[in-house]
Structure 1
Amino acid sequence: MSGAGRGDAPGGGRYGEAVFRPEQAGEGERIDFGALAYDGFTVARLRALGVGPGWRCLDVGAGTGTVSRQLLEEAGVAGVLAVDRDGRFLSARPVPGLEVLEADITAPDAVRGRFRLVHARFVLMHLPERERVIGVLADLVEPGGVLVLSDAVDLTGDRTPSTPYGAAMRAMWQGLRATIGTDVSWVPSYPRLLRAAGLVSVAAEVLVPPLLPGSAISRFWADTWERSRAAMLATGLVDDAAVDEALRYLGSVECAALSAGMLTVWGWKPGDGEGGG
């Protein structure tokens, strides 16, 4: 859940620079709150796909490396190349079999080789050349291997009841889009895009973690709002008082709302001699 490539917005901002700077105190903890909310689901899906001993894996935008380490320590994979534009959190927690590469996944030949698993979570939603990058990631999958992508789907809309939480989420998405180019509107098209990239047996699922007071996902959103507050205020949809009220609401038993979902999609690279179906 960290930047792995360029996220140039209309204003020229980038993930990890305009907002969510890795050197800012507490950024690693914010990423870890997201990991606590999503890792169990992610790793269970990867293991259900057969990821295990002998697999060489690529984890793009690896953040603090929680998924990479679980693949090594729990699934027993042969090795993980963890890629991020800023590898400080990855290098701070080394484990056997974990190789760290600081690279921009959107740059030519940023990663070389083929992998049985290529995984990226909360990365492409921040990048401008999303379809091209999906093709790049698909090319990094070895024949018979699998590409697994996860990104956010926004569940707030015009018919969503008006709450402080909903107002803050709408301001956050709009502010991040203007500041760093984040765009989750295209995420439901993932299955089609994986098929277009030549992958087969494509399928998808969505996780919506419950918003409970003090839960990892609630603390993640609270930290995310605080770190993107300036971008949220710039939209004109909220002011400081509204953000503060949303924070109080999110941490209370009165909160009755849907978190953003995480859509996970996977597709297999045909083996040698197989067609695309």
Structure 2
Amino acid sequence: MSAGEPGGRYGEAVFRPEQAGEGERIDFGALAYDDITMARLRALGAGPGWSCLDVGAGTGTVSGRLLDEAGVASVLAVDRDVRFLRERPGLEVLRADVTGPDFAAGRRFRLVHARFVLMHLPERERVIAALAERVEPGGVLVLSDAVDLTSGLEPGTPYTAAMRAMWQGLRETIGTDVSWVPSYPRLLRRAGLVPVAAEMHVPPLEPGSPLSRFWADTWERSRAAMTGTGLVDDAAVDAAVRYLDSEECAALSAGMLTAWGWKPAGAAPR
């Protein structure tokens, strides 16, 4: 490994699923973002008769809501670690690596969905093309990832210091890179999908909210990566956690950009 190269992967170097409380951290994120995700998926038509692929399914909240609320026919929930997922009628669980060459080979879905996955992966454009191949003609690929809204114009606060250290630390440790996320519409179009569109959602940071607890837990689990940047020390991380839970907190969370693109109805599988 040369200097500056990531030394691990999500779930290995940081955010290990076997670490106590990791499932709860994921669920805090789900509480903050699931409603907007489901609103978009249903607006795109997800409903009875649809077959769905949920990539990086985590604790399965989106997969379950697709079945229970949208009434889709089936969901294949995929993750590299499936300890938080349980099969049930309509829900199939697959332990697999989305970057692998045989990922879901030969299978096509009306909806392919991935949220907070590609931002942590190398060869992102190749993975987008591979996911587009899993979409059946007339189906839709929906991708969501984080967009950093912490600008250099903001005054320094415990929150901005922690967020900057987190993004840099995760990039150096596991290769997380959100700088390319605004390119989603162009990348979906390059993958042969048309039409494409995108939107952004920024949930509020409020003391004690699921989102604030998500960021506090995320910083705790990435503390070594954050302090390793030299931008913050342990005291600064502790101050940021306290800041999130105080009335002094005045900040924007990272946004969630969601982009989608349709597979032309006459497209032949490659």
1:108 matched to 2:101? The reply is yes
1:98 aligns with 2:91: yes
Structure 1: stretches of 5+ with no match in the other structure: 1-8
Report the Cα distance in structure 1 between the residues aligned to 2:267 and 2:198, rounded to whole angstroms. Answer: 26
Alignment pair present for 1:189 and 2:155: no
Which letter does structure 2 place at the counterpart of 1:257? A
Q: Give the partner amino acid of 2:124.
A: R
Equivalent residues in 2 for 1:171-210 (5 A)?
171-210=165-204
* Contact 2:194–2:261 (8 Å) recurs in 1: yes
SS of alignment partner, residue 190 of structure 1: helix
Q: Distance in 2 between matches of 1:51 and 1:140?
A: 16
The one of 15, 26, 29 equivalent to 2:24 is: 29
User: Displacement, 1:173?
Assistant: 0.3
Match of 1:89 among 72, 84, 91: 84
Alignment match, 1:3: none
Mapped to 2, the partners of 1:95 and 1:247 lie a distance apart of 37
Q: Deviations over 1:106-157 (max 9, x none)?
A: 0111112000000000000000110000000001000000000000000012
Counterpart residue identity of residue 174, structure 2: I
Secondary structure of the equivalent of 2:76? strand
8 Å Cα contact 1:155-1:261 kept in structure 2: yes
Superposition CA RMSD, Å = 1.1
Pick one of 41, 45, 52 that aligns with 1:46: 41
Shift of 1:161: 2.1
Map of 1:164-175 to 2, 5 A cutoff? 164-175=158-169
CA contact (8 A) 1:69 1:95 kept: no
Tell me the alpha carbon deviations over residues 175-225 of structure 1, each in whole angstroms, 9 at most, x when there is no partner.
000000000000000000000001011110001010000001000000000
1:249 aligns with 2:233: no
Q: What's the offset of the Cα at 1:11?
A: 3.6
Higher deviation after alignment, 126-135 or 106-115: 106-115
CA distance in 1: counterparts of 2:65 and 2:252, whole angstroms: 28
Task: Please give the TM-score of this superposition, normalised by the length of structure 2.
Answer: 0.96
Q: Cα gap change, 1:245/1:48 in structure 2, threshold over 3 Å: closer, same or farther?
A: same
The match for 1:145 is: 139
SS in 1 for 2:176: coil
Given that residues 148 and 265 in structure 1 are in contact (C-alpha distance below 8 angstroms), is that contact kept between their aligned partners in structure 2? yes
1:263 and 1:120 mapped to 2: Cα distance?
Answer: 12
% identical equivalent positions: 80
Aligned residues of 2:77 and 2:93 also touching (Cα < 8 A): yes
What is the alpha-carbon distance in structure 2 between the residues aligned to residue 44 and residue 11 of structure 1? 35
- C-alpha separation in 1, matches of 2:88 and 2:65: 10
Greater than 4 Å deviation, 4+ residue runs: none
8 Å contact from structure 2 (residues 137, 267) kept in 1: no
Match in the other structure for 1:63:
58
SS at match of 2:195: strand
Gaps of 5+ in 2: none
**Equivalent in the alignment of 1:4:** none
